[in-house]
């Protein structure tokens, strides 16, 4: 005989007690609303707001540092690797997708005020960040459903989906800029003085009539490399054992909540079916 006092809520603690053939399972419920908010990363409290401010400022500082280093993509020199995105990715894993999205808009506002090539540069950066955050979130959802999630699985799946999302999302605005926004004279100068010398290094000849496809393809390649660099640095930080245990404002990082939630959902129940 089994007596079950569960009320349909997620299991937080199972206490199993056997007296001869009489078994009792006591389940202490936890709010489904609290659990879903933790794993979805939608919480926006004072701790998250403070995190948004810190990581947005860090993104701008690291972005300025990257510009000072001049880490340009060799084939398309006006594209530059940016360490500032590491701050946005860390905000994603520590606080969740919503704070990371707000941090992306905060960095966009900072670039509009202090950045270069306004407004085109800041707008493209915003597209890159939002598509990256969306891809990371989708990749983590996939990883958490396929198997027991760990930080390596979350980062790997997020990087793969995020790279695809980012490359696709930036193709259309770059196509619009090259085909409709910039003047023919600007394109001719770009091809002659920038693209032809750089593409010649890999044996690709570009002209005013055939430059578009190579530029779009290698822009997508750059975005994959940029995200891979950012994720590699972020992964090195997240792999530090203390990161999953550190408490910010009394709670563990969001990625640790996702991992624990995924692991607990796959744990077998105590022998509730014993009779």
* Whether 6 and 56 share a structural domain: no
Q: How confident is the model at residue 155 (pLDDT cuts 50, 70, 90)?
A: very high
Q: Does pTM top 0.85 for this prediction?
A: no
* pLDDT tens digit sequence for 164-186: 999 999 999 999 999 999 999 99
* Whether 211 and 191 share a structural domain: yes
Structure tokens at 93: 């894993």
Q: Using CB atoms within 10 A of its CB, is residue 201 exposed (0-12), middle (13-18) or buried (19+)?
A: exposed
Assigned domain for 232 exists: yes
pLDDT at residue number 247: 81
Give the relative orientation of helices 254-265 and 151-176 as an angle to the nearest 10 degrees: 120
> From CA 259, how far away is CA 145, in angstroms rounded?
11
* Whether 88 and 19 share a structural domain: no
Assigned domain for 105 exists: yes
Structure tokens at 100: 């990371």
What percent of the chain stands above pLDDT 90?
65
Domain that holds residue 45: 38-264
CA 178 and chain centroid, separation: 28
Q: What is the mean pLDDT of residues 189-202?
A: 94
Contacts of 213 (CB under 8 A, 6+ apart): none
Contacts of 48 (CB under 8 A, 6+ apart): 95, 96, 98, 99
> From CA 156, how far away is CA 228, in angstroms rounded?
10
pLDDT over threshold 80, residue 108: yes
* pLDDT tens digit sequence for 52-76: 999 999 999 999 999 999 999 999 9
pLDDT at residue number 272: 39
Assigned domain for 271 exists: no
pLDDT at residue number 245: 79
pLDDT at residue number 48: 87
* Whether 77 and 93 share a structural domain: yes
* Whether 1 and 122 share a structural domain: no
Q: What are the b/e assignments for 57-93, b being 16+ CB within 10 Å?
A: ebbbebbbebbeeeeebebbeebbbbbbbbbbbbbbb
Structure tokens at 147: 């198997």
* Whether 18 and 108 share a structural domain: no
CATH number at residue 202: 1.10.1760.20
Other CB atoms within a 10 A radius of the CB of residue 12 amount to 12
pLDDT over threshold 70, residue 47: yes
């Amino acid at each position: 005989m089994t007596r079950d006092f569960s009320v349909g809520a997620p299991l937080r603690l199972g206490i199993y007690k056997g007296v001869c053939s009489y078994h009792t399972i006591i389940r202490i419920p936890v709010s489904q609303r609290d659990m879903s908010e933790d794993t979805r990363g939608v919480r926006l409290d004072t701790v998250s707001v403070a995190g948004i401010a810190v990581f947005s400022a860090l993104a701008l500082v690291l972005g300025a540092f990257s510009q000072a280093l001049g880490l340009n993509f060799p084939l398309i020199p006006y594209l530059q690797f940016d360490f500032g995105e590491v701050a946005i990715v860390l905000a994603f894993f520590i606080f969740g997708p919503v704070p990371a999205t707000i941090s992306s808009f905060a960095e966009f506002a900072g670039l509009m005020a202090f950045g270069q090539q306004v407004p085109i540069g800041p707008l493209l950066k915003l597209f890159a960040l939002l598509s990256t955050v969306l891809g990371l979130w989708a990749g983590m959802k996939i990883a958490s459903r396929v198997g027991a999630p760990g930080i390596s699985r979350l980062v790997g799946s997020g990087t793969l989906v995020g790279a695809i999302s980012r490359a696709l999302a930036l193709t259309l605005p770059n196509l619009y800029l090259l085909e409709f926004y910039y003047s023919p004279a600007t394109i001719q100068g770009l091809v002659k003085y920038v693209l032809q010398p750089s593409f010649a290094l890999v044996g690709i000849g570009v002209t005013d009539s055939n430059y578009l496809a190579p530029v779009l393809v290698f822009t997508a390649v750059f975005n994959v490399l940029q995200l891979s660099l950012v994720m590699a640095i972020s992964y090195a930080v997240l792999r530090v054992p203390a990161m999953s245990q550190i408490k910010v404002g009394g709670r563990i990082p969001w990625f640790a909540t996702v991992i624990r939630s995924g692991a607990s959902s796959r744990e077998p129940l105590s022998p509730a079916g014993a009779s």
